[in-house]
Structure 1
Amino acid sequence: MLIDAVSKIMGAAQASGGRLIVVDAIDESAFDFYRKYGFTPVRNTETQLVMKRSTALAAFGVG
């Protein structure tokens, strides 16, 4: 599911020029899940994480 979601986000980002994927983890377990797949916590937030499009391309092979 994550790969499918990232793939769709990457397609939309190409059309709109977005450079980051932003997620809001609903709990600590979700936060740890996103960290496991290379998302980076946003400073001064407890639930938001980001990933650059270039990182997603390298990590998931989607673009």
Structure 2
Amino acid sequence: MDTHSRSFAKALSWRATGTIDTMIISLVITGSIKLAAAIGATEVVTKSLLYYLHERAWLKIPYGRKTAS
């Protein structure tokens, strides 16, 4: 079972990757570095929290888990 700190670290590393992707897409679509940065800054906070909560919820779901023998 993952600890809370491990789930949080995984969320941060994934969000860094996702935010860079979002900022690049936003820059391509809007042509504005300032707007792309604002979109990236907003989504890194919201999606980090959502990922953490998603991970913690899945730890409570036994589907697909094998028990240690």
Same fold (TM over 0.5): no
Structure with a larger share of its residues in strand:
1
What is the TM-score when the length of structure 2 is the normalising length?
A: 0.31
Structure with a larger share of its residues in helix:
2
Give the number of the structure whose alpha-carbon radius of gyration is greater: 2
What is the TM-score when the length of structure 1 is the normalising length?
A: 0.33
